[in-house]
């Protein structure tokens, strides 16, 4: 069964969500990241998706203390992204408790460096963040579009041992309108050996059930949870049946 990975996005140490990557649309939620992560852990969650939105915008991690606190309190497998553009920031993320690092802009802007990271740190620890708007890959906290397509970006690193990709359709992110089923189905079929994680647009458990039927392997749940569309009981029940 597809694995549900809850999301915690962070600005200035607080749990927040955006719409379509627009920082002016930020909405803060009540729980602090540690308390929210403990709720997920107690429901049986094994992996947590955390994004440092301050880091994504400033090109270097800014909320490593929050990462360290969550990792220390929960012991969860944490995939961490946002501003990882240098080896120093990559190492500091791992030192703070990340078990996997999500790298997007670095892979687009400096593919040779990302290739080195796959080799040195292993494909089990390095995740390609492949986020697109209007068919083109977006970088720098989704504030800038490149000329590269998702297919080109993923295909560039398959020969280098790439195993994990988180793909976000930015137009769907935070909109609660359902994910781009055709996009994810196409990518998973074309790159059968890659573990794709679906991100953006989840609106209900029905979306997750459909992705599961399509044999997708992982799905990130963010705003749908925080807005009550998917409950902690839903997540707990799904994980118990996995």
Of 52, 54, 131, 234, the active-site residue reads 131
Place of tokens 């920031």: 89
Structure tokens at 177: 């309108």
Between CA 218 and CA 140 the distance in angstroms is: 24
Lowest mean pLDDT among 29-38, 65-74, 184-193: 29-38
- Give the mean model confidence (pLDDT) for residues 133-156: 82
Active-site hit among 9, 52, 169, 234: 9
Structure confidence at residue 143 as a pLDDT band (50, 70, 90): low
Length of the chain in residues, anyone? Answer: 242
Contact (Cβ atoms closer than 8 angstroms) between residue 137 and residue 153: yes
Third-level CATH fold of 3-241: TIM Barrel (3.20.20)
Q: Which two tokens stand for residue 101?
A: 């690092």
CA distance 220 to 228: 15
The predicted model gives 214-239 an average pLDDT of 96
Residue 174 has pLDDT above 90, yes or no: no
- Whether residue 9 lies in the annotated active site: yes
Q: pLDDT (tens digit, 9 = 90+) per residue, 73-129?
A: 999 999 999 999 999 999 999 999 999 999 998 999 999 999 999 999 999 999 999
pLDDT at 242: 79
Q: Where are the domains of the chain?
A: 3-241
pLDDT digits (tens, 9 = 90+) for 7-26: 999 999 999 988 777 788 88
Alpha helical stretches, state H, 191-228: 205-213, 223-226
**Tokens (6 digits) for 138:** 């977006």
Identify the three-state secondary structure at position 63.
coil
The rounded Cα 141 to chain-centroid distance in angstroms is 12
């Amino acid at each position: 069964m597809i694995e549900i990975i809850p999301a915690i996005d962070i600005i200035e140490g607080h749990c927040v969500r955006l719409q379509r990557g627009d920082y002016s649309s930020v909405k803060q939620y009540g729980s602090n990241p540690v308390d929210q992560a403990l709720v997920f852990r107690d429901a049986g969650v094994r992996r947590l998706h955390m994004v440092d939105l301050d880091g994504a915008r400033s090109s270097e991690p800014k909320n490593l203390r929050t990462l360290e606190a969550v990792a220390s309190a929960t012991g969860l497998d944490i995939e961490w992204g946002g501003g990882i553009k240098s080896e120093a920031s990559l190492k500091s993320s791992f030192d703070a408790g990340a078990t996997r690092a999500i790298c997007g802009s670095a892979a687009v802007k400096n593919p040779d460096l990302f290739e080195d990271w796959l080799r040195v740190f292993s494909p089990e620890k390095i995740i390609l963040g492949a986020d697109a708007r209007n068919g083109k890959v977006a970088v720098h906290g989704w504030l800038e579009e490149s000329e590269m397509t998702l297919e080109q970006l993923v295909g560039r690193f398959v020969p280098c041992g790439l195993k994990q990709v988180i793909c976000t359709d930015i137009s769907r992110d935070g909109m609660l309108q359902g994910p781009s089923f055709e996009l994810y189905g196409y990518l998973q079929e074309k790159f059968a050996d890659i573990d794709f994680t679906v991100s953006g647009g989840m609106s209900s458990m029905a979306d997750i059930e459909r992705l599961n039927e399509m044999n997708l392997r992982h799905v990130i749940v963010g705003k749908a949870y925080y807005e009550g569309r998917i409950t902690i009981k839903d997540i707990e029940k799904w994980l118990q049946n996995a």
